[in-house]
Amino acid sequence: MTRLIDFFELVIFRHRAWVMVLFGLLTGFLLWQATQLKLDAAFTKNIPLNHPYMQNYMKHQKNFGGANSILVSVCGRDSSIFNETFFTRLKDVHDQLFFIPGVDRSQVKSLYSASTRFTEVVEEGFSGGPVIPADFNPANPAGLKLVSENIVKAGIVGRMVSDDFKCAMVTAQLLELDPQTGEKLDTLAFADNLEQQLRGKFEDDKISIHIIGFSKMVGDVAKGAKDVLVFFAIAIAITAVMVLLFCKSLLLTLLPLLCSIIAVVWQMGLLTLLGFGLDPMSILVPFLVFAIGVSHGVQMINSVGKEVIAGQTAKQGAQKAFRTLLIPGGVALLSDTVGFMTLLVIDIGIIRELAITASMGVAVIILTNLILLPVLMSYVKLGEKYKARFANKEQRSDRFWNYVAHCSNAGVAKVILAVVALLFAFGWYQSEQMKIGDLHAGAPALHEDSRYNQDTFLITDKYAISVDYMSVLVETTASACTSFEIMNAIDEFQWKMENIEGVQSAVSLASVAKLINAGYNEGNPKWRVLPRNQQSLVQDISRVDTSSGLLNGDCSVMPVILFMADHKAETINRVVNAVKEYRLQYEREDLQFKLASGPVGVMAATNEAVSAAQAPMMLYVFAAVIVLCLLSFRSLRATLAVVLPLYVVSILAQALMTKLQIGLTVSTLPVIALGVGIGVDYGIYILSTMSHKLKAGMPVRQAYFDALKERGSAVLFTGITLAIGVSTWVFSSLKFQMDMGILLTFMFVVNMLGAVVVLPALASVFWYKQK
């Protein structure tokens, strides 16, 4: 090992200029690549595609559309819909939406679409027509009155017209692929079009436009994600000031910042090179890479600075620092990388992208901050002035470290460990109650007072529409909808599900057929049954078009759509379990109840995937950390001393999630892996110094004191810098970034405390003979 390091040292420091030229060229190339980086969001990336629910969802997506639709509610600000301005505007919105690329034109629906018809029961049977007649003129009060009557007859109040008659809805389905060009839907461009061409053009002081749907949500998230640049700037500024305070030299401040920025550039360039875009959900990663880069850079300048103060030249110091830090720094960064890579086991597109983005970024830091940085520093001239600034500092900090080193006294250690055990027990209890999934109404990625969520609340409030629905796909045989027995079975299933707490209402071909059957019998509610007579049943069902989404072409698949009170994980679980229980009893070869489609079906699958991934993810990330520690320390005791505090902190982080009502979701799941991966750095830096001395038989307290003197200030500084960097996310306009910010801040700070306080206490127990 030492030989290898010698070799590297020789090669690198002999050819310092070449190293810099190489890095310069690479940086130039990757910077150019990075400028090509696109924000990229796709619906399918957010869902666990291989989960059985999603397999069913994808299988039937063509027939029943997906969860990818868009709802546009046009509302009169002070008036009802029955006036000329409103109807003209509604028509404009309908026509405009029709022409926005990505919209399935056959599926644009509003009062103005030809398929919006009314039927009424008259003595001779049914009579009906389009809700808006061909000769409709909104300027004519008689025409408005006729339309208002037709709306009531058509039974579309609550769906196409709001309950208070102040809003009307235009809905559209989106095409995942452009039928002409075959290109994938550009969700962000689409969302931008909605904003510009609908809201921008048609919203004014009389009419308001409210838009919801997955693509709009992603658009808003992307827009919010761009705020990250501001946080990035703030974080760089704060970090710079902190580093300056720490090293008291402007040049030494700039170098680690420069190297960390180079790491970010490389990471973003590599992403483009590998054909990835940057997802709004993982936009924080470059940020994290920067913070990690700085923290390792600080270790480096700290080490070089100490050497220089001890009388070495900058080049000697840089070489020495390179030698001593390559192993602990490399191991720490490698364990970060491996920690992030464990996220690859989770079968959700954006988590995998996050894993790739983050692990690549951290791996790059090994090159920029462990190689480039010492090379750059070797050119620095640190004069007497610099040394003078640290003249008295040594003694002052020694006093402080001496105080901290008490942690490794047997008596103090016992107290510390007792407190940690108590905290662990409390954390364990709390973490068991951690909730899976999104706990709040509306789009969880966004804040409750965001425009998107306000629009969601308005639409769910004014219409009898729920965005929280789940479809159970009933798979049976061809023409099954003409069989009373099958339809009756679907109807009974639907009724049992409606009676599950959390299901507000439900609709299926069976329940619609019952309404139509009453319609055929003069609208008499006493006939609201499924007719046993097959001709009658066929007659009823023939009135339902496949575009209703209630049956496929040969009615071998019929969804039962369950509208839910909310999308809390407990609600979803209750309903999913009820479906599973029901099908245990009633499922047959020719009658299968398949989970699940619809937005809540997607959430159910995601929740299951996330909760199933949690345990293996923790297992892998800790396994990776343990293996790397064992390899570098070659000591079980040292490994335990690093890993145990780490584990306690990850449990406490879960307890914090319970306390703060942050659910385990696609965005919070990776946080623990990130936290563990980065948190292990502190322990590795401290113990790498200690373990040599302990092996040489030095008492624990002395070894710890020496380690603190050498690395302590850098560790404290790193923890605080990282924490300050991520804590700025708390002000993000995106809720998931706020959640991630809180959790990462917690993990960085508490892991640092764990390494400084708990690690020596454990060490004093493990090496109890070396007093």
Partner 1 sequence: MKLRFSMALAALFIAPIWAQTTPAFVAPLAKESLLLDVATTTDGLIAVGERGHVLLSSDGHDWQQQQVPVNATLTAVTVRQQQMWAVGHDALIIASEDGGRSWQVQHYQPELEKPLMDVLFFDAQHGVAIGAYGLFLRTEDGGASWQREPHIELLDEEDIEYLQELKEEDEALYEQELGSILPHFNRLSHIGNRLYLAGEAGLLAFSDNQGKHWQRMGVDYFGSFFDISQAADGRLLAAGLRGNLFVYDDLDGWRPLATGMKSSLNSIVSLDNQQTLIVGNNGYLVWLNDDLSLTQTEEEKAVLNAVGFNGNIVAVTEAGVRFIQK
Binding site for partner 1 (CB under 8 A): 120-123, 483, 485, 492, 495-496, 498-499, 522-529, 531-533
DSSP designation for 191: H
Q: How far is the CB of 464 from partner 1 (least distance, A)?
A: 11
Task: For residue 754, give every residue at least 6 positions away whose Cβ sits within 8 Å of its Cβ, in sequence order, or none.
Answer: 645, 646, 648, 649, 679, 682, 683
Q: How far is the CB of 593 from partner 1 (least distance, A)?
A: 17
Task: For residue 397, give every residue at least 6 positions away whose Cβ sits within 8 Å of its Cβ, in sequence order, or none.
Answer: 709, 712, 713
Q: How far is the CB of 508 from partner 1 (least distance, A)?
A: 15
The Cα–Cα gap between 301 and 376 comes to 11
Kindly tell me which of 421 and 529 has the beta carbon lying closer to partner 1.
529
Question: Which residue in 615, 736, 756, 748 sits closest to 677, CA to CA?
Answer: 748
Kindly tell me which of 121 and 367 has the beta carbon lying closer to partner 1.
121
The Cα–Cα gap between 339 and 361 comes to 13
Task: For residue 12, give every residue at least 6 positions away whose Cβ sits within 8 Å of its Cβ, in sequence order, or none.
Answer: 19, 322, 371, 375
Kindly tell me which of 149 and 449 has the beta carbon lying closer to partner 1.
149
Kindly tell me which of 223 and 462 has the beta carbon lying closer to partner 1.
462
Q: How far is the CB of 558 from partner 1 (least distance, A)?
A: 18
The Cα–Cα gap between 376 and 58 comes to 53
Residue 475: strand, helix, or coil: strand
Kindly tell me which of 201 and 532 has the beta carbon lying closer to partner 1.
532
Kindly tell me which of 6 and 163 has the beta carbon lying closer to partner 1.
163
Task: For residue 575, give every residue at least 6 positions away whose Cβ sits within 8 Å of its Cβ, in sequence order, or none.
Answer: 470, 497, 500, 502, 503, 562, 564
Q: Is the peptide bond before 596 cis (omega within 30 degrees of 0)?
A: yes
Q: How far is the CB of 98 from partner 1 (least distance, A)?
A: 32
The Cα–Cα gap between 470 and 673 comes to 31
Q: How far is the CB of 598 from partner 1 (least distance, A)?
A: 21
Place of tokens 């452009």: 178
Q: How far is the CB of 604 from partner 1 (least distance, A)?
A: 23
DSSP designation for 76: E
Q: How far is the CB of 156 from partner 1 (least distance, A)?
A: 14
Q: Helices (DSSP H) in 696-734: which residue ranges?
A: 700-707, 713-727
Query: Side chain identity at 73, as an amino acid letter?
Result: S
Kindly tell me which of 524 and 548 has the beta carbon lying closer to partner 1.
524
Q: How far is the CB of 432 from partner 1 (least distance, A)?
A: 30
Kindly tell me which of 442 and 519 has the beta carbon lying closer to partner 1.
519
Kindly tell me which of 370 and 465 has the beta carbon lying closer to partner 1.
465
Kindly tell me which of 482 and 770 has the beta carbon lying closer to partner 1.
482
- Edge-to-edge, what's the strand order for the sheet holding 503-507? 503-507, 557-564, 469-476, 591-597
Place of tokens 């590795």: 684
Q: How far is the CB of 594 from partner 1 (least distance, A)?
A: 21
Question: Which residue in 301, 290, 313, 328 sits closest to 246, CA to CA?
Answer: 301
Q: How far is the CB of 141 from partner 1 (least distance, A)?
A: 21
Task: For residue 350, give every residue at least 6 positions away whose Cβ sits within 8 Å of its Cβ, in sequence order, or none.
Answer: 45, 46, 279, 281, 282, 666
Kindly tell me which of 16 and 528 has the beta carbon lying closer to partner 1.
528
